[in-house]
Structure 1
Amino acid sequence: MNWILLLLLCLVISVSINSSLICSMSDTNGEECCTSLVPYVKPVILREFFGDHRNVTIGGRMFRLHQDWQRNGVAGVIWDSGIVLARYISEHPELVANRTVLELGAGLGLPSIISTYQNAKLIHVTDRLSAVSLLGENVRQNANNDCDMKIFAFDWNIDKLPQKYQVILGADLIYGGITFEPLVKLFEDASDHDTVIYLCSKIRYERDQDFYRQLLQKQFDVREIFYETEFAVNIFEIKKLANYCSTRMYEEKKNVTTDAVILSMCDECGIKSLVLMRNGL
């Protein structure tokens, strides 16, 4: 009898150990590999990611977004930053109205979808090749088809953009182990004299702050224009300093004989940049 009890005890211990190791995340696409005999109940905070769709209401319209975490990983679900940026565009249609728009790392494309209802002139919606199929499905089913749109695969590490844009959108572009330099270079190359970049993200780690600091070092003006308290998400407005001078500072400072000082600050992240520009810029 004792050996039977011992055997049962060993079995219980074995199952307990296995249940603590039931799921591991793939390094390549975030796919879960579950091997435990014990049923796994996903945490409540993650359940919305594993559903095959999610309904989001913005500006009185309900958008049904198809999700696929298993195939697309982080690009296959809607994140808080995407919702916040889309809402902000809906509430401030002048940001995209009659402008050419590029969305990078679009995922399910919600900010671009909203932009189609705000009279954007042209919208290019991009993400990596493996994400384009789901992205296209969501955009076609939810967007205003009267808008001039194009969906295509784009990798900012290697690809070149077909043109410059007046507005560049990005939600949660900084995550994982991506390198900053190619994205910063892209912003430099894609920015025209009146280009405005709107990035929406949570400041989770020191590296998130480092990205915005690097933009400041590359002569960009970075300003926090909105903080969403529900999701703890920031929206930053970014311009090349040369562009900023030509569009806002030149008329104000052209008759000033002393140095003009631009101070860009983000109190939430502790980002500060002090740039002295000689009269005559």
Structure 2
Amino acid sequence: MTEVRVDDRKDDESDTEGIDIFADPEGFYPPSPKPTTETHTLLSGRVLSLRLVGHNPLWGHHLWQAGRLISTYLETHPDLITSKTVLELGAGAGLPSLVCTLLGAKKVVVTDYPDPDLISNLWANIDTAQLNIATSTSSDPTTKKIVAEGYCWGASPTPLLAHLPTPSSGFDLLILADLLFNHSEHAKLVQTILDTLSRSKDARALVFFTPYRPWLYEKDMAFFDLVREKGLCVEKVLEERLEKVMFEEDPGDEELRRMVFGFEVRWCGGGV
């Protein structure tokens, strides 16, 4: 009798054809958190709706206390904004920058780490507030009152200064809201202030923060020691106690975690 052999290799191959046996099964990883929305009410009564990224390791998914307080401070000090150029660092949702644009700033550049989600979210908030419609329908960013830009602290300021009418002039106002917790980046933040703050007697950097980790408060404040070492002057302009803490489950002195401290940084002697 003749032996009959069946070649079943074709069938075996067809069972796994097009299948990645190393792929993670569907649902293996939890879905990414969806974007959320927060609101902020201006002193005028206007309500701004702010989109926040679903989650981000750089904490861009929160609307921070200092961002709210610095926005209110700017509303009560319009001379810092009107017809001025503004740069915000580590902006998150960009609330202070939106407020500056609404209050008549000449040009606002709102920045955060060059992560696509963070920057596209800033543009989404700009579009929602309709801040550029009245100025131009052009896609040319130089014609817009407010633009979003990715920027790493301490890097070359050239892309930021390029948005100014006179690129070498520097910005009239810098905004740093709740950035001091990042102690390893203090030197880079100071360098960016030196590189981008206009050398005029009226130029200011506003630095507002809450000590979310009260036991590291002195390290937060060490930022201002670096600022002074570089020939800049520092003045406290705000100290406000909030009704409640932002993160109720966090450890540390609750009273200190309710506080927002605001400082003004400027050139000693009125600049150059």
* Superposed pair shares fold, TM > 0.5: yes
Give the aligned partner of residue 191 of structure 1: 197
The structure that has the greater radius of gyration is 2
Map of 1:66-215 to 2, 5 A cutoff? 66-71=51-56, 73-130=58-115, 131-142=118-129, 144-145=131-132, 146=134, 148-161=145-158, 162-163=160-161, 164-194=170-200, 195-203=203-211, 204=214, 205-215=217-227
1:1-57 Cα deviation digits (max 9, x unpaired): xxxxxxxxxxxxxxxxxxxxxxxxxxxxxxxx98xxxxxxxxxxxxxx997111211
Q: Which structure has more helix as a fraction of its residues?
A: 1
For structure 1, the 5+ residue unaligned runs are 1-32, 35-48, 247-281
Alpha-carbon distance, 1:143 to partner: 5.1
Greater than 4 Å deviation, 4+ residue runs = none
The alignment's C-alpha RMSD in Å is: 2.3
SS of 1:70's equivalent?
Answer: coil
| Pair 69,159 (structure 1): closer, same or farther in 2 beyond 3 Å | farther
Kept in 1, the 8 Å contact 2:157–2:195? The answer is no
Size of the aligned set, in residue pairs, is 199
For structure 2, the 5+ residue unaligned runs are 1-28, 136-144, 162-169, 243-257
**82-91 or 51-60: which moved more?**
51-60
Matches of 2:183 and 2:225, distance apart in 1: 17
1:121-180 Cα deviation digits (max 9, x unpaired): 111111111111111111221253346111111112333244211111110122235322
The higher-RCO structure (CA 8 Å, 6+ apart) is 2
Alpha-carbon distance, 1:71 to partner: 4.1
The letter of the residue matching 2:39 is N
Map of 1:12-23 to 2, 5 A cutoff? none
TM normalised by structure 2 equals: 0.67
